[in-house]
Amino acid sequence: MKKISFIIPIYNCKEFLTDCIMSLRAAKVQDCEILLIDDGSTDGSGALCDELAETYPEIRVIHQENRGVSAARNRGICEARGEYVLFVDSDDALFPFSTQVLDCLTTGTDMVMFGMEFRYYHKSQYVRKETMTVDEMIRGTLQNLPGCFEKLFYRNYLSSACNKFIKRSVLMDHNLRFDLRLPNYEDLTFTLLVLSKCNTFSTVPDVNYLYRVDYDYDRTVDRIAKIVNLLGNTDIIAESFVQLEQAIYTAGGENTDVLMACLRNIYFELFSVKMKTASLGRIKRYCRDFINDRYLNACVERVGIDLGNQERMYHWIRQEKALSIWLWTQYLTLRHFAARNVKRILKWRLS
């Protein structure tokens, strides 16, 4: 059995694939395999995968019809031969792992999480970066997870599937897979379900994952705009929070209100993003669905509403003030767009 299986979904990524593979081979992981799951690519990426496999013996290629990134990752979980799996997106890269990260794997912990660097590109030109990491190493269990959950959540340790080694036996024993119904937050949902089955986990401050971001295109808005049943999809995410909360209680943990506060914020965030592309007539329908959602109501009952923008939005939703909601979300969109471009221009002038 290999120690590590790197699982990379491949779909029309010929431009970045070789660099991604080279970063994995330079990551200081000796006993590993690299699984390339070609998800029906049409740009020659599949052929490039086969060429790379002929050159590097640690690479295995699996070709399948296009079914999406979650299906490709699930195929990788089933095909992997490593004790641990790590998911990598084909246009991203890894930095060499430190001894601290690799030593965690020798302890048998179920999950090891590390920091990420986000590099933003404007018209293929690198414009800025952002680093998300924790201040110190954490060795955790379900019992003490509530004490560090908020920190991990807002520093992006839970939102991505790509910044963690996961023991494959945990995934196989509990039949844990990515939910094919989710076009957004599928990584977070998967992570929370895995955590609910972990006896131990470790987080390290080392930044080992490089995530590329297109500065000119917000994929989140497009994904959410295509969701017909937004609340139904968000309820699927909520179920992973509830399952994790139950696992924490079973393990003897307490004070899981922090989980419900984070979940409440997800509901408001997704609602606000959806409103950016919804018509006024649809906004009223979404308001009624939102205010009657059982998971959201449970969160609000337990942890209340944040003062400020969230409180304002909640008031408008209850009153079905579609125009106020639409105008506010458009204002936030313009403000966000202006702030991003000011940062980009300042960086260019100072460089």
pLDDT at 123: 78
Of the pLDDT bands very low, low, confident and very high (cuts 50, 70, 90), residue 347 is: low
- Whether the CB-CB separation of 56 and 135 falls below 8 Å is answered with no
Model pLDDT for residues 279-303, shown as the tens digit of each residue: 988 999 999 999 999 999 999 999 9
Count other Cβ atoms within 10 Å, centred on residue 161. Answer: 24
The number of angstroms, rounded, from the C-alpha of 272 to the middle of its chain's C-alpha atoms is: 19
The verdict on residue 121 lying in a domain is no
pLDDT at 142: 97
Q: For the domain that residue 4 is a member of, what is the CATH number? A: 3.90.550.10
What is the domain count for the chain?
2
The number of angstroms, rounded, from the C-alpha of 344 to the middle of its chain's C-alpha atoms is: 25
The secondary structure of 98-164 as a DSSP string is PHHHHHHHHTT-SEEEEEEEEEEEETTEEEEEEEE--SS-EEE-TTTHHHHHHHHHHTTTTT-SSSE
Of 37, 57, 91, the one marking the end of a domain is: 91
Which structural domain range is residue 257 located in?
A: 238-350
The verdict on residue 254 lying in a domain is yes
Six-digit token pair at 71?
């299906």
The verdict on residue 177 lying in a domain is no
The verdict on residue 153 lying in a domain is no
The answer to whether residue 344 scores a pLDDT higher than 90 is no
Helices (H), 56-91: 69-79
Adjacent-strand bridge partners of 94:
209
Q: Calculate the CA dihedral of residues 309, 311, 313, 317 and round it to 10 degrees.
A: 180
- What residue ranges in the chain does DSSP mark as E strands? 2-10, 32-39, 59-64, 82-87, 93-94, 111-122, 125-132, 138-140, 164-167, 201-214
Of the pLDDT bands very low, low, confident and very high (cuts 50, 70, 90), residue 124 is: confident
The verdict on residue 225 lying in a domain is no
pLDDT at 54: 97
Of 33, 59, 91, the one marking the end of a domain is: 91
The answer to whether residue 235 scores a pLDDT higher than 80 is yes
Give the pTM.
0.94
CA distance 260 to 53: 45
Q: Is the dihedral of CA 326, 327, 333, 337 positive or negative?
A: positive
The verdict on residue 213 lying in a domain is no
Q: 103-117, 158-172, 320-334 — which is least confidently predicted?
A: 320-334
The verdict on residue 67 lying in a domain is yes
Q: What angle do CA 335, 337, 338 make, to 5 degrees?
A: 65
CA distance 326 to 330: 6
Of the pLDDT bands very low, low, confident and very high (cuts 50, 70, 90), residue 350 is: very low
The verdict on residue 180 lying in a domain is no
Model pLDDT for residues 170-216, shown as the tens digit of each residue: 999 999 999 999 999 999 999 999 999 999 999 999 999 999 988 76
Of 91, 108, 132, the one marking the end of a domain is: 91
Mean pLDDT of the chain: 92
The number of angstroms, rounded, from the C-alpha of 220 to the middle of its chain's C-alpha atoms is: 12
CA distance 167 to 157: 17
